[in-house]
Structure 1
């Protein structure tokens, strides 16, 4: 049995998830009278995600901010600005795409007593009160806005803490990330139960709507990778951006596509930064930090899936709320874990902006895992390739401002 489990774990997660989906479809179609207990695997998987997500956000963001060293002569400020701009524009592009191509999902339960916000004033009021929520209450009630606020504040304060304290935070962050990996390793079984339940409840048509959702997600990610990001790069270096963009996607994005982990792709990006001749003092900080906070793909996932839930529930969204969602998706994306499926755990944060309960939001997370075979791979490829892309862009922009010429080693 141990050898069987070991061999199963050696198979890539993508293949295991595909296997789980196929088994779920076969069971749902072939069993004459559906066996209800099969659905429990999906419920347990979603429950495990709900349990680990709040703690993950708190320690991951707090540790990332506290580890940043101030006073170093680097291009970090420029890089952080680029990270922020690209992530915001990615979230904003996703909002526009969701309005142009609205997608509705099949949610099984919990929508009957939903009371959507009355307007922008109520949305802002809810946002402000969530920000000042008690940290223990925020963790207990999965108030992700409050959790993110406390994580940022504690991270800033602990930047002046002892190395021992920072080491403890990093250890906790690593430990929780490991637990997330264990939970995500159960994704094939959980997704089998979720697919089974979706087909039994709604029929094969439930899978067709996931296909439309996937097209909106991937289309937005490709648009950001090949249109938005090159525009940002050109604005800073005033040269053809595509040689650099294509090299980053080729040597970083493709690897990240298969590893599905920004954290796992850090060594690849560090090696590419060295090949590009970048400043080591800069990229040794920006690349690991980018693996945590530079999450354009995550912002797209959060925005599109949140607005899919909003459209499903019939909530009206005005321009002001859409802009707030773009900002919120960019901020919350910075807390996305560098492991496969990490951004999906932050969808409840954005859903809370519209008064959508956590139980319903986690059903949307479950949908995200069903389409995650391609969605998460493309998301990670965009996230990780952007880390090295904007690190190089900041350095080339600095050289240009100094009046020197430079050659992009593409």
Structure 2
């Protein structure tokens, strides 16, 4: 005898995107009519983000180690073209930011300094930090969310276990499946978490704080939208030779929306993994490319660094020629690869770029303060671009490789 599914079962099998949209709308309504109630439910958002951050490091470690350990001989993982796409996309984003900054020059109302911030003093320091992250203690890497270190240890362990017995590989594979199921369970709570995030954010900041920075935000978000809807589709088309928009829009809808509200590329790793599985991509590929992308595919960060640095130069009356701006874009692209996978990680790299124009660290840190003021929109849009692009480029490389094999 057939029975009607329970309400919980219907919710669990329903469209996650529609549920997230409902969470956004309800969050806006609650914050509009009751600031106190919105503040009280904001813990739901913090709880969801912390849950994602908790599962992401162990998910990356286990999946990468398992995929390498269980990889069949002569299997093509497509990592080289994906890394190429990541680097091209990040540089294109920085160049786009230069073009937008020249077309729509902006100035800043400089705010106070940022207490306790410790920005890097040069690219050498950024690269030095990355090298030391690679050799970090594996337990510490997992505890602190150091994804460079996690990737390094996972790759090393996977290569070692690749020569282990089949029973050992099976245990690692089963462990990977178990962690994946836990991640799926956590992701199902995204609508509730985003409801809390939206309610708390609007109740805390409103939109008044953003009004004075409308032009700056327009340039930042406009450049990011241009990358997401024009440049990335062109790159994908050149790779797969078909209409790229179904893939691009799906990734923006199912990865970008969640990343917009979590504001953390690292926290969005589980979401991207689930989307790659839905797209039926090669697990050996996306289990490595997605966490790697959360570390080095930072087009949104490159835009933030470039736009805010050129805005600071305009504010101080510093004349910037086009070639110097192009040099800035290269520096921004390299620096963005060292940006943290957490909210606001790119802002502390702004003083590094400001140093190209002789802007003092004190002034540069005031620019960082401006970044934090507009961060409720800027950092959200930046993360949405960064994270959704990870899946876009991974899917494009996998499809191109599959088409090449079938031709």
Instruction: Name the TM-score, length of structure 2 as normaliser.
Output: 0.64
Residue 290 of structure 1 aligns with which residue? 293
Asked if 2 retains the 8 angstrom alpha-carbon contact of 1:255 and 1:381, the reply is yes
Q: 1:255 to 1:359 in 2, by over 3 A?
A: same
Q: 1:264 aligned to 259, 264, 267, which one?
A: 267
Q: Among 305, 310, 313, which residue is 1:307 paired with?
A: 310
Distance 1:272 1:290 in 2: 14
| CA displacement, residues 274-333 of structure 1 (integer Å, 9 cap, x when unaligned) | 111111111001111111211111111111111100111111112221111111111111
Unaligned runs of 5+ in 1: 14-59, 111-138, 159-163, 176-186, 196-203, 405-410
> Contact between 2:120 and 2:126, CA under 8 Å: does it hold in 1?
no
Structure 2 counterparts to residues 92-111 of structure 1, below 5 A: 92-107=95-110
Residues 208-255 of structure 1: CA distance to partner in whole angstroms, max 9, x if unpaired?
551110011111111110000000000000010001001111111111
Aligned to 1:224: 227
Checking the alignment, whether the CA contact within 8 Å between 2:127 and 2:338 is kept in structure 1 is no
Distance in 1, matches of 2:266 and 2:144, equals: 16
The CA distance in 2 between the partners of 1:317 and 1:301, in whole Å, is: 17
Q: How does 1:152-171 map to 2 (within 5 A)?
A: 152-154=130-132, 158=135, 165-171=137-143
1:85 aligns with 2:63: no
Aligned with residue 371 of structure 1, among 365, 369, 374 = 374
User: Relative to structure 2, which stretch is displaced further, 357-366 or 218-227?
Assistant: 357-366
Return the match for 2:125 from 122, 144, 147.
Answer: 147
Answering whether residue 43 of structure 2 is matched by residue 10 of structure 1, we say yes
- Whether contact under 8 Å (1:105, 1:209) holds in the other structure is no
Cα distance in 2 for residues equivalent to 1:370 and 1:154: 31
Distance 2:231 2:119 in 1: 37
Two-structure CA RMSD over aligned residues (Å)? 3.4
- Give 1:151 shift: 2.5
1:7-406 alignment to 2 at 5 Å? Answer: 7=40, 10=43, 12=45, 73-107=76-110, 142-154=120-132, 158=135, 165-174=137-146, 209-404=212-407
- 1:148 is displaced (CA, Å) by 0.9
Q: Which runs of 4+ in 1 moved over 6 A?
A: 67-72
Aligned residues: 293
Instruction: Decide which moves more: 321-330 or 231-240.
Output: 321-330
Greater shift, 145-154 or 375-384, is seen at: 145-154
Q: Distance in 2 between matches of 1:142 and 1:280?
A: 36
CA distance in 2, matches of 1:108, 1:247: 38
User: CA contact under 8 A between 1:278 and 1:392: conserved in structure 2?
Assistant: yes
Residue pair 1:88, 1:326 contacting (<8 A) in 2 also: yes
Q: CA deviation at 1:260?
A: 1.3
2:22 matched residue in structure 1: none
Q: Is the 8 A contact 1:295 1:334 kept in 2?
A: yes
Q: TM-score, normalised by structure 1?
A: 0.64
* TM superposition shift of 1:352: 1.6
CA contact (8 A) 2:130 2:338 kept: no
Deviations 1:48-72 (A, max 9, x none): xxxxxxxxxxxx9xxx9xx999997
Distance 1:108 1:342 in 2: 19
